[in-house]
Amino acid sequence: MNQTPIQTSSEMDIFSSDFLLGNVGAPFIIGVAVGYFAKKMLRVALFIGGAAIVLMFVGEYYNIVNISDIQLQSAAEVVAKGAKDSGGFLVDRLTQVTSKGVSAVGGFFVGFRFG
């Protein structure tokens, strides 16, 4: 005989701690961790990028290198596009953590805000 398991009331209750922890709590924490890390890494990348630009300006001042404003702007546009694509990738991946993906993405934005 084929028997299908009968769901208990705790499995059907959306306000039970088992349901909330598995579908809301844990994905939210994952999202917070990813958002916090993303913000910290963005700050580190901006710090290193700013230091590189300042060093190029110093090199230009001492006639070691020649930097055109057009090249600098195009490099900044390429970096900004890469950052936007990677941010979109993270949010898309977090939507797959739960069926709705709302709690993980919400956690990402909370973590990004705190980072």
Beta strands in 10-72 (DSSP E): none
Beta strands in 1-115 (DSSP E): none
CA-wise closest residue to 53 among 79, 72, 74, 78: 72
pTM of the model: 0.69
- pLDDT tens per residue across span 20-76: 555 567 788 888 899 999 999 989 988 998 999 999 999 999 999 898 899 889 988
Domain ranges of the chain: 20-114
Local confidence band at 86 (pLDDT 50, 70, 90 cut-offs): confident
